[in-house]
């Protein structure tokens, strides 16, 4: 027969709280954890010693603290890492953010007239300039932009959206184009095959039900071999003849020549065969080739805050902004402030100097190697082998999947610690530090580590192996 634990053996919540001391978490959150543990002890068959209970609670509080949103050091070599918050923002962007956040602002006030003004009028204007479109607007993310566009064009009697079978893709986080279409009230009209779609496939599918033609940039994978698809200009011409809107979902939204961007870092490459950085189509190119609207993310290769940018024909952009649904997708003032400064950087020229993802992508390998050597020198005498390695950094965020950016890694092998345990300690460090395992080493790719973080990297490694 089971015997219930003696209730007297269960420590009181008050006693546990006192023994825990300060925890750097809100009191109510700590209390909830302690109460949950005490409650589970009441159901347990036997009660562990007080110190063991305290240890369990401390571990639970550690995990809770770790789950708070916080800065991390990205040693993965993936520039736009969706799990790590995609694009970090530059100093001037953060300054604008702080200034706008801490004060009232002219979000919906026209200071010239003193009347109610439109949100983001300046940003709509600069985005249109950047994209070479007649007009532009912003919503919460590119998925929202696509939903807004689909809803707008399929809200009438015509429901069908024509799309190639080669573009029915899934983007990270369970975002599937066919499901988005369905959720937006559109009817999917697939044309062509997975590997080949022709212009006549599009032409044959157009009928009385057709609402629009959608092209989705294959941003996160590539097709090779026996493949064909009509050029966007051909589809655009067909759409114009049939008086149908033609929209391209570009995803990444690079507005710089990506193939030139990395020329700076490439010399000194000593990794195996590399695919040089491909050209990522820009929103301006897409509009020039005849798309009526283009949409893309703010926090992928544009390097700004999370946002979905729509650019193209003024009449269509204005109609989208009149959609009741637009109100539900509109951006917060902080996003608008951050994006405004980001776009200003582009219009000023030289975005490579001020947009962190572009600056990181371009850092010469010589510089990375010098930093790696400094870090390794600072680790001398610790129970750990450290060496310089060759890295293969990536753009990530579902963009330029083939391209590898040659890079430099710090390769670490602790002497008294399993590699997985070492990685776990680095993840639990302050700030949490993330690398990857390869060749029996834990590797930190310096392409995605900011030079200002090098000292912290050294301290974090030191602490992880010293315990
Ligand atoms: C990333 C991506 C999206 C989604 O963008 P979010 O800003 O994350 O919503 C949509 N379409 C394509 C082609 C993408 O690459």
3-class DSSP string for 118-164: CCCHHHHHHHHHHHCCCEEEEECCHHHHHHHHHHHHCCCCCCEEEEE
Same-domain status, 391 and 267: no
Same-domain status, 145 and 209: yes
The CA distances from residue 273 to 28, 29, 205, 235, 441, in Å, are: 55, 52, 42, 35, 22
Structure tokens at 315: 């009449």
Q: What is the Å distance from ligand 1's center to 297 Cα? A: 6
Residue of the nearest CA to atom 5 in ligand 1?
A: 142
Same-domain status, 277 and 203: yes
Same-domain status, 237 and 270: yes
- 382 exposed, middle or buried (CB, 10 Å; 0-12, 13-18, 19+)? middle
Instruction: Please state the pTM of the whole predicted model.
Output: 0.93
Determine the distance from the C-alpha atom of residue 189 to the mean position of all C-alpha atoms in its chain, rounded to a whole number: 30
Q: Which of 33, 66, 99 is a domain's end point?
A: 66
Is residue 104, in this structure, part of any structural domain at all?
A: no
CA distance 453 to 319: 46
Q: For residue 194, how many C-alpha atoms fall within 13 Å in the half-sphere facing its CB?
A: 6
Q: 217: domain CATH number? A: 3.40.640.10
> Quick one: which atom of ligand 1 is closest to the CA of 306?
7
Is residue 190, in this structure, part of any structural domain at all?
A: yes
Q: Which residues neighbour 167 within 8 Å (Cβ) at sequence distance 6 or greater?
A: 177, 214, 215, 216, 218
Q: What is the Å distance from ligand 1's center to 309 Cα? A: 11
Residue of the nearest CA to atom 2 in ligand 1?
A: 251
Same-domain status, 394 and 430: yes
CA distance 238 to 191: 15
For residue 263, what pLDDT is reported?
54
Which structural domain, as residue segments, surrounds residue 370? 73-84+360-466
Is residue 164, in this structure, part of any structural domain at all?
A: yes
Structure tokens at 293: 């609207």
Q: Which tens digits make up the pLDDT trace of 29-52?
A: 999 999 999 999 998 888 899 999
Same-domain status, 169 and 238: yes
* Residues with pLDDT less than 70, the chain: 1-8, 262-276
CB 454 within 8 A of CB 415: no
Q: Count structural domains, the chain.
A: 3
For residue 269, what pLDDT is reported?
44
> Quick one: which atom of ligand 1 is closest to the CA of 172?
1
Same-domain status, 79 and 53: no
Is residue 349, in this structure, part of any structural domain at all?
A: no
The dihedral through the CA atoms of 94, 95, 101, 105 has a sign that is negative
Protein residues with CB under 6 Å of any ligand 1 atom: 141-143, 171, 175, 216-217, 219-220, 249, 251-252, 297, 308, 398
Best of 143, 184, 218, 250 for a ligand 1 pocket test (most atoms within 8 Å of beta carbon)? 143
For residue 6, what pLDDT is reported?
63
Q: What is the Å distance from ligand 1's center to 252 Cα? A: 7
Is residue 157, in this structure, part of any structural domain at all?
A: yes
Structure tokens at 412: 């670490």
Q: What is the Å distance from ligand 1's center to 247 Cα? A: 14
Collapsing DSSP to helix, strand or coil, 420 comes out as helix
Same-domain status, 60 and 156: no
Residue found under tokens 């990444």: 252
For residue 222, what pLDDT is reported?
75
Same-domain status, 276 and 422: no
Can the peptide bond before residue 11 be classed as cis, meaning omega within 30 degrees of 0? Answer: no
Residue of the nearest CA to atom 15 in ligand 1?
A: 251
Q: What is the DSSP letter of 327?
A: H
């Amino acid at each position: 027969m089971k015997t219930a634990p003696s209730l007297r053996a269960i420590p009181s919540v008050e006693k546990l709280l006192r023994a825990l001391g300060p925890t750097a978490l809100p009191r109510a959150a700590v209390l909830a954890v302690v109460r949950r543990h005490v409650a589970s002890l009441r159901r347990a068959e036997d009660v562990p010693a007080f110190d063991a209970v305290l240890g369990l609670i401390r571990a639970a509080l550690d995990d809770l603290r770790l789950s708070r949103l916080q800065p991390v050091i990205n040693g993965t070599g993936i520039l736009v890492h969706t799990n790590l918050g995609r694009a970090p923002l530059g100093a001037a962007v953060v300054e604008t953010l702080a200034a706008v956040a801490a004060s009232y602002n002219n979000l919906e006030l026209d200071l010239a007239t003193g009347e109610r003004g439109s949100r983001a009028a300046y940003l709509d204007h600069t985005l249109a300039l950047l994209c070479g479109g007649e007009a532009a607007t912003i919503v919460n993310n590119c998925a929202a932009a696509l939903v807004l566009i689909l809803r707008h064009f399929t809200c009438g009697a015509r429901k069908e959206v024509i799309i190639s079978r080669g573009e029915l893709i899934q983007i990270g986080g369970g975002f599937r184009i066919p499901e988005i279409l369905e959720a937006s009230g559109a009817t999917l009209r697939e044309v062509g095959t997975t590997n080949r779609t022709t212009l006549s496939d599009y032409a044959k599918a157009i009928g009385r039900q057709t609402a629009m033609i959608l092209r989705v940039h294959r941003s996160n994978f590539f097709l090779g071999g026996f493949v064909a698809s009509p050029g966007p200009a051909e589809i655009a011409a067909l759409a114009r003849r049939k008086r149908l809107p033609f929209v391209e979902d570009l995803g990444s939204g690079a507005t710089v020549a990506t193939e030139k961007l990395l020329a700076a870092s490439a010399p000194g490459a000593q990794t195996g065969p590399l695919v040089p950085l491909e050209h990522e189509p820009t929103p301006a190119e897409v509009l020039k080739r005849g798309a009526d609207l283009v949409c893309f993310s703010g926090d992928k290769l544009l390097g700004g805050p999370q946002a979905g940018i729509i650019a193209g024909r003024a009449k269509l952009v204005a109609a989208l902004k009149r959609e009741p649904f637009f109100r539900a997708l509109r951006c917060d003032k902080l996003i608008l402030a951050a994006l405004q400064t980001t776009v200003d950087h582009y219009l000023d020229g030289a975005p490579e100097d001020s947009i962190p993802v572009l600056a990181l992508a371009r850092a010469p390998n010589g510089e990375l190697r010098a930093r790696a050597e400094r870090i390794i020198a600072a680790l001398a005498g610790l129970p750990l082998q450290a060496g310089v390695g060759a890295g293969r950094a990536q753009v990530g965020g579902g963009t330029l999947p083939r391209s590898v950016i040659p890079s430099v890694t710090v390769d670490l092998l602790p002497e008294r610690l399993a590699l997985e345990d070492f990685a776990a300690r680095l993840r639990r460090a302050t700030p949490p530090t993330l690398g990857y395992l390869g060749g029996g080493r834990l590797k930190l790719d310096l392409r995605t580590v900011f030079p200002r973080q090098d000292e912290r990297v050294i301290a974090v490694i030191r602490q992880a192996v010293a315990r």
